[in-house]
Structure 1
């Protein structure tokens, strides 16, 4: 879990993914030559901003993993504005940096209005991004930390890359706060490589029907509905593989898939990811059995789809 812990400790809220992009580029440069099939690395800031593509062999399927997280932006005085949908509780530790130096402050939530703010020894410069302080906790059976959503999806993609022969891994930006990067990534992938099907390497919720330790989740729907024939192909492959998995049916939530669904190119997609408790908080919790089944299922699907 050392790689996952490293990923969780890199601040990269929506709009400020550059630090994580630099880490990914350095990681691929160092480890990629030792993978079974070293990829072509595509990183063009003018065309893709902070997004990154890894292209393996003759791809048929693309894996999308967003690299940004939720967080907070300093407004005026000591007000904070959420980035995405972070959980807000008084006492959460926040970190950041402005022109005056490093910041380690405390989140405050006004009881009546639920207005967000911070406690710190000085005023923080407006526009500064703050993220949850990382307290990475590992047991024999679980991992708990901020930003497992979606650093675990990124971890899954990097581990998948070690053995991937044919496929594309797309590290996208901005998903937690409205998206925006997937349309141009999808258009480029579709038009350049003829790839029209995707897996979404992201993290979903524990609910009354989705449980920790029961295996990776194949989502039949969330706020959007994927094409059933594609999802049924994935279900057949998953069943034949024997990899533990569970099915999700939700009426809310979304992922990078929402922009594939609305693309001006024809895309099939399916969300496949581990479930977590304590979503969008400093204490996101995932079972290691679900992490293992997520990676195993992706390895199977990328061979078979």
Structure 2
């Protein structure tokens, strides 16, 4: 979990994913020689802050978004949400502007409900603030801010160790409307002919999805994937014996929305571990679900 701990501590809210991108590129450079197959690395200004890794003769692409929720400093002491963070008075927020490091407290106006911050000075407008990272690990769980989606990124990086054929795409802006997957998907399909995807992201603990019972295969959220593709994934999962659960939701979304709304035909399925305390500083995931997530991805990327 040392790698996951490191990933959770790198601030990368939507629109400012560059610090995490730099870390990943360095990590890939340092570790890819030990991977089973050395990928082609696509990164740079033409991809903004996204990264694509192409292994062998790919048939399936894995999408994992780099960004997190957070807050943008507005005017005075006002804050604007990035994505949908849980807002609780007293939450510890951190960041940096040209005057130095910031460690402040989230406030909520009792009369208006507007959110702001309390700090020793005024923070420069446009500064991003994120939850302070308090990474906690037990024998059975990990708990931290930003497991969504640093755990999805962790899963994709670990998948790279044994991946022979496939594409791993690290995307941006997912928590705040998306925008990068459309051009990644277009390039992937036009260049490699790949048109099926897995979404390496984190879902919710609900009355029908419980921690410790395995990775979640989502049958639908606010969008509905093509049933024939999801059924293929279900058959592979059933034959593998890897613990897994099925999810049916009526809301929520992921990088898949840009695949389904795009101009190219893509099949997709969301496959990820469930977490509790979603979008808060205290997201928590069972280690058994983390293990089954990686194991199922390894199996699916061989079989699909």
Q: TM-score, normalised by structure 2?
A: 0.99
- Corresponding residue SS for 2:148: helix
2:128 is aligned to 129
In structure 2, what is the Cα distance between the partners aligned to 1:109 and 1:177? 22
For the pair 1:99 / 2:98, whether they are aligned, the reply is yes
RMSD of equivalent CA atoms: 0.5
In structure 2, what is the Cα distance between the partners aligned to 1:36 and 1:95? 38
In structure 2, what is the Cα distance between the partners aligned to 1:236 and 1:70? 34
- Corresponding residue SS for 1:96: strand
In structure 2, what is the Cα distance between the partners aligned to 1:122 and 1:208? 44
> CA offsets, 1:18-66, max 9 Å, x none?
0000000000000001101111101131x21000000000000000000
1:298 is aligned to 297
In structure 2, what is the Cα distance between the partners aligned to 1:215 and 1:244? 5
2:177 is aligned to 178
- Corresponding residue SS for 2:87: coil
Q: Displacement of 1:265 after TM fit? A: 0.4
In structure 2, what is the Cα distance between the partners aligned to 1:168 and 1:77? 44
> CA offsets, 1:230-282, max 9 Å, x none?
00000000000000000000000000000000010000000000000000000
- Corresponding residue SS for 1:294: helix
1:24 is aligned to 24
> CA offsets, 1:276-298, max 9 Å, x none?
00000000000000000000000
In structure 2, what is the Cα distance between the partners aligned to 1:113 and 1:256? 34
Q: Displacement of 1:115 after TM fit? A: 1.0
Question: Where in structure 1 are there 5+ consecutive unaligned residues?
Answer: none
Give the number of equivalent residue pairs: 304
Superposition map of 1:12-51 within 5 A: 12-45=12-45, 47-51=46-50
Q: Displacement of 1:111 after TM fit? A: 3.1
Superposition map of 1:27-176 within 5 A: 27-45=27-45, 47-176=46-175
In structure 2, what is the Cα distance between the partners aligned to 1:278 and 1:133? 15
- Corresponding residue SS for 1:54: strand
In structure 2, what is the Cα distance between the partners aligned to 1:294 and 1:97? 34
Q: TM-score, normalised by structure 1?
A: 0.99
In structure 1, what is the Cα distance between the partners aligned to 2:38 and 2:280? 35
> CA offsets, 1:99-143, max 9 Å, x none?
100000001122343211001000000000000000000000000
- Corresponding residue SS for 2:262: coil
In structure 2, what is the Cα distance between the partners aligned to 1:88 and 1:75? 16
- Corresponding residue SS for 1:155: helix
Question: Where in structure 2 are there 5+ consecutive unaligned residues?
Answer: none
